[in-house]
Structure 1
Amino acid sequence: MDLLCAAYSNAEEEEEEEPKRKKSYHHTPPPKPYIPSSSSCTVSNLHTQTLIPGSYVSKRQRASMSSISTTSLPLSSSPSFTLSGSISEADVPHNILALFGSEAKGRKNLNSISERLSASLSGHTRAVNAIHWSSTHPHLLASAGMDNMVCIWNVWSRDKKKACALNFHNAAVKDVKWSQQGHFLLSCGYDCTSRLVDVEKGMETQVFKEDQMVGVIKFHPNNSNLFLSGGSKGHIKLWDIRTDKVVHNYNRNLGSILDVEFTTNGKQFISSSDVSGSNISENSIIVWDVSRQVPLSNQVYVEAYTCPCVRTHPFDPVFVAQSNGNYVAIFSSTPPYRLNKYKRYENHGVSGFHIKCNFSLDGKKLASGSSDGSIYIYDYQSSKVIKKIKAFGQACMDIAFHPVIPNVFASCSWDGGISVFE
């Protein structure tokens, strides 16, 4: 709200200057325009205030009045953006900021996993489906909830850790991703939209509408203007933010899309779809060519399980898929995209939840949530459990390793809780 007030206060100052410049042409100066108080500094007040007869009306004010009947109010109205803390690094302790600058050193020292709880973040009233760290502002964590809300957390803030809440969606939010450029955040959900928000300004900048509930989104690794979306009707779309249009459609009569993941070079992507309503499982995991819109392989995983999560290894030419068979399967990410039949990561439970998994920064560990509320840390090479951390009373839904600080990761739960461990 302060941002809106500041923006409009500049306009009011400009309007006051115009009558002063015309002062020499009138024996009696025109009345001073009405200026709303800070307590009433809202978009609706600026449009509907009563003008004093004879007062000067600026071009900006006339344009604003003429657009009332044809233009809706700005998307950043106060009920959709609640600022409760700060997204600034100024609230982060110096020792944490120092770690942000030691990225190269930190990635070489990932030998241990601690289970010390660094922060417990509460604010969602229902299940949290997904979390994501900002790579450009690594003190910020975003979360998507079944309470229709996206929360931004200033995790190490000395004051309020919940920086702001975004309520632009009018149904449950399924996924959230930070852009690689600035404070822009993309989210999607059951209201059949993906929404791009400028968190710094508290403004929703774009809405991408579909004819399906949108369950997953993913920015292109080499071009932050492009992102994939997958939804309940089995449609996968590649959007261009610059034009608000779909660049490519990837359709193959699939079930609901559960996850999408680009390969490291960005030329292919992997999709996972729900095959529970079908007698064939060959479409469970498909590798696609991004530019040609054709599947390169649709017989990657032939077991009769759906895979709610797919993740590529940061360095090796492999990817993993979380299976409802209560294990993580591993595949080659180069042709012929074969399943490794002799290696899997098991012991955790999925039990029908949309449980996610993730690799550590150095790729030496794989972490997975579990339906028993625990976090399972596996050794990537041996597939053995290194550590089990009991984090929540209900299912642990997502794991996100910090993009800079080694051994720091966040997790979220079906009970609405978020925990950060270091």
Structure 2
Amino acid sequence: MDLVNNYGSSDEEDHQETVGTMTKSSIQINATPDAGFDNNSVGIYTAPTATELTVNVPYDDMMRPVYGPENPHRDPRLATQNILTGHVEQQAISESDFRTQMRTFETYGFARDPSLGSNNLAGQTGQGVMGTGYVGNLAAAAELGGVSIYDSIPKAMRPNQGAKKKRMAKGDLSVVDGENAYKGPWAGYNDDKTLPVQAESEEQETAKEEQVETGKEEAAAATTTTTEGGEMALTAADKRKKMMEPGNEKSIFHGESEFDYLGRTYMAVPQDTDVNLLGEAGTQECFIPKRCIHTWAGHAKGVSAIRFLPKSAHLLLSAGMDNKIKIWDVYHNRDLLRTMIGHGKAVRDIAFSNDGRRFLSASYDRYVKLWDTETGQCIRSFSTGKVPYCVTFNPDEDKQNIFLAGCSDKKIVQFDANTGEITQEYDQHLGAVNTITFVDDNRRFITTSDDKTMRAWEYDIPVVIKYIAEPDMHSMPAVTLHPSNKWLACQSLDNQIVVYGARDRFRMNRKKRFAGHLIAGYACKPGFSPDGRFISSGDSNGNVWTWDWKTCRILKKFKAHDKVVMNTEWHPHETSKMATCSWDGLIKYWD
């Protein structure tokens, strides 16, 4: 280039030197894309695969190229797939049209093609098969004119019209049996595959009865054994059935002697304790128990209920799911004193009389039995053929021979214990009766049922005087009367204890509600301290909860058992003693 620039003409003019310069271009090429690294602190970015925007992203930032390494093993075809096997497009079709075509396809076998982006021969959306606009059975679509499930079509063109069943001939009225026998309006269809039931003859019935009797005898012979003396030994089922029958009850005394050196039984109130067991209950100030001081273990299965002996409370009565009832000593050695055996199934409820000399037991074997507390003898058995869920004596002193039982047949049955007869029935409930509680100086009683209602009755009058049923009410399988006799604490199945008045109005006290525990459908019976300051209840996890009666605050929760705690009974003369029973088969005494 320098030679060209320095090249001169051939003329003899003065030689002028030419200086050559090269201009530098101002355009620069940058191969790195602008990915927005300069403002990472305030920049907003979205994932490349995102289909929705949750924030407002500027257009410039949204259109920036994707930066970062790519997966070399990713199939490029997966970029267009939104399901595992391919790509599904969303179609703009209403729910009503979709359901119409779906039901049309299920009924007739064809439907309109809902695909977008193409038109059929009639100009409608969706090309369909061979431009017809339909998918599925094209012959049926052409025959029926492409109707939908909601269009009316001629009766002759309806599918399965020719498949109508035809009845068989009625037969001849004079023919009783055999061919052409009279069937009348009971004649079947020609293509009916079921055979008519033939009446058995007398010979066949007699043979079948003999066969059944023979089978029973063989089964009885197979399930019985012979003793050395040649007598037939009963099986376990026969023993249980025999025990359920009245008159086969028995009692076992577990102590060394039933009488002491003065000829007194365990019914005598001990005088060598530091507590006045004959004083008035509730006069002492009560406190919440803190530790377990004794455990009674004797039931083979769970314990469903416990009751202290009225007035003195020096004995404890327990009902077990092992069909047994036991009496325990609360003071001295706290031993097992007596076991009553007489029920064939689990015992659900027990109730003492006012003096504690007798008690009732209700069992799933459909019997209510009256027992003598001192001797353990069964005095009388009562049964209506239904399962008694709850039982209680009339608290009046002159009516200690009357008791009420709530049964599974929705009735409350009133018995006379002296005669064994039913004297009254209360049958207004719509479900099994769970509890019976006497209130208002024993002139009335309150019942709760599985029908989620509470009803108040006048004693000996089978008419409801108060009907309580609210939409938010649940079944209340356990009820306890406050020591002041003014309130009822009801364990509701929505995991709370609700309170109702026990006077004339029987209204719910909305200000008192005790919650926090989980009963999970169990009939956990609430308990009150003798002075009425505390209310307690077990739960399904084996815990015991204690609330303050006035403030409804949770005061204490402690682990008492391994399974559900069914009962918490406060000792009426002690300041802080409580007995609890559970389905783990244990009874614990707390102080």
TM-score bucket of the superposed structures, by smaller chain: 0.7 to 0.9
- 1:82 corresponding residue in structure 2: 252
Any unmatched runs of 5+ in structure 1?
1-71, 276-280
1:312 aligns with 2:472: no
Give the C-alpha shift of residue 216 in structure 1.
Answer: 0.7
What is the CA–CA distance in structure 1 between the aligned matches of 2:412 and 2:531, rounded to whole Å?
30
SS at structure 1 position matched to 2:380 = strand
- 1:340 corresponding residue in structure 2: 509
* Structure with the larger strand share: 1
Any unmatched runs of 5+ in structure 2?
1-242, 259-264
1:121 aligns with 2:291: no
SS at structure 2 position matched to 1:298 = strand
Q: 1:172 to 1:291 in 2, by over 3 A?
A: same
1:200 aligns with 2:374: yes
Q: Deviations over 1:196-221 (max 9, x none)?
A: 11132231111111121111111112
Structure with bigger gyration radius: 2
SS at structure 1 position matched to 2:375 = coil
Q: 1:256 to 1:110 in 2, by over 3 A?
A: same
1:303 aligned residue (450, 456, 472): 472
- 1:357 corresponding residue in structure 2: 526
User: What does 1:90-169 correspond to in 2, within 5 Å?
Assistant: 95-96=272-273, 98-101=274-277, 103-104=279-280, 107-158=282-333, 161-169=335-343
Q: 1:370 to 1:237 in 2, by over 3 A?
A: same
1:188 aligned residue (330, 350, 362): 362
Give the C-alpha shift of residue 319 in structure 1.
Answer: 1.2
Conserved? CA contact 2:354–2:400, under 8 Å? yes
SS at structure 1 position matched to 2:275 = helix
Give the C-alpha shift of residue 360 in structure 1.
Answer: 1.9
What RMSD, in angstroms, separates the aligned Cα atoms of the two structures?
2.4
Amino acid at match of 1:239: F
What is the CA–CA distance in structure 2 between the aligned matches of 1:399 and 1:264, rounded to whole Å?
24
Amino acid at match of 2:430: L
- 1:219 corresponding residue in structure 2: 393
1:266 aligns with 2:438: no
- 1:12 corresponding residue in structure 2: none
What is the CA–CA distance in structure 1 between the aligned matches of 2:278 and 2:375, rounded to whole Å?
29
What is the CA–CA distance in structure 2 between the aligned matches of 1:212 and 1:243, rounded to whole Å?
20
Give the C-alpha shift of residue 407 in structure 1.
Answer: 2.4
Give the C-alpha shift of residue 137 in structure 1.
Answer: 4.8
Give the C-alpha shift of residue 264 in structure 1.
Answer: 4.6
Amino acid at match of 1:140: L
Q: Deviations over 1:16-61 (max 9, x none)?
A: xxxxxxxxxxxxxxxxxxxxxxxxxxxxxxxxxxxxxxxxxxxxxx
Q: 1:118 to 1:353 in 2, by over 3 A?
A: same
Q: Deviations over 1:259-289 (max 9, x none)?
A: 11111511111111113xxxxx4xx211111
Q: 1:125 to 1:257 in 2, by over 3 A?
A: same
- 1:19 corresponding residue in structure 2: none
Structure 1 segments of 4+ aligned residues over 3 angstroms from their partners? 74-77, 86-95
Give the C-alpha shift of residue 124 in structure 1.
Answer: 0.8
Q: 1:367 to 1:128 in 2, by over 3 A?
A: same
Q: 1:264 to 1:297 in 2, by over 3 A?
A: closer
- 2:172 corresponding residue in structure 1: none
What is the CA–CA distance in structure 2 between the aligned matches of 1:368 and 1:322, rounded to whole Å?
9
- 1:234 corresponding residue in structure 2: 410
What is the CA–CA distance in structure 2 between the aligned matches of 1:202 and 1:346, rounded to whole Å?
40
Amino acid at match of 1:82: I
1:402 aligns with 2:576: no
Greater shift in the superposed pair: 169-178 or 315-324: 315-324
Conserved? CA contact 1:91–1:157, under 8 Å? no
Q: 1:103 to 1:250 in 2, by over 3 A?
A: same
- 1:174 corresponding residue in structure 2: 348
Conserved? CA contact 1:221–1:264, under 8 Å? no
What is the CA–CA distance in structure 1 between the aligned matches of 2:442 and 2:465, rounded to whole Å?
14
What is the CA–CA distance in structure 2 between the aligned matches of 1:76 and 1:248, rounded to whole Å?
26
What is the CA–CA distance in structure 1 between the aligned matches of 2:518 and 2:562, rounded to whole Å?
14
Give the C-alpha shift of residue 316 in structure 1.
Answer: 5.0
Give the C-alpha shift of residue 183 in structure 1.
Answer: 2.9
What is the CA–CA distance in structure 2 between the aligned matches of 1:406 and 1:75, rounded to whole Å?
42
Greater shift in the superposed pair: 133-142 or 293-302: 293-302
Q: Deviations over 1:59-115 (max 9, x none)?
A: xxxxxxxxxxxxx9x9776x721211267459997653x4134624x7332241222
Conserved? CA contact 1:375–1:388, under 8 Å? yes
TM-score (norm 2): 0.54
Amino acid at match of 2:250: S
What is the CA–CA distance in structure 2 between the aligned matches of 1:412 and 1:150, rounded to whole Å?
13
User: What does 1:63-74 correspond to in 2, within 5 Å?
Assistant: none
Count of paired positions: 339
- 1:325 corresponding residue in structure 2: 494
Give the C-alpha shift of residue 300 in structure 1.
Answer: 4.8
SS at structure 1 position matched to 2:468 = coil
Conserved? CA contact 1:357–1:368, under 8 Å? yes
